[in-house]
Amino acid sequence: NMALTKIEKANLVKEFGKNEKDTGSAEVQIALLTKEINTLTNHMKQNKHDYHSNRGLLKKVGQRKQLLQYLAKKDIQSYRKVIDKLGLRK
């Protein structure tokens, strides 16, 4: 299954959000996108010719990239914390 469950989503919001209702902040959105990207990446390894899902994956990667750029501009400390927690940027 590709979609995030409510529980998984709630856990990410709790971990990255300012409170448990904070679903809109860039940090939470980046965390959710990262989880979805990882799931889709595994799906693509098994289904190389699923081009529709591949497009979705690329859109999510682009969206996360924009959010990361925004966060870096807005709040560099928060940006660094999110990158460390999610293990982005080698």
Res 2: pLDDT = 67
pLDDT digit string, tens, across residues 29-80: 999 999 999 999 999 999 999 999 999 999 999 999 999 999 999 999 999 9
Q: Give the angle subtended at the CA of 40 by the CAs of 35 and 44, to the nearest 5°.
A: 150
A 10 A CB-CB count for 70 gives: 14
Give me 66's structure tokens: 């924009």
Closest CA to 86 of 39, 33, 48, 40: 33
pTM of the complete model: 0.92
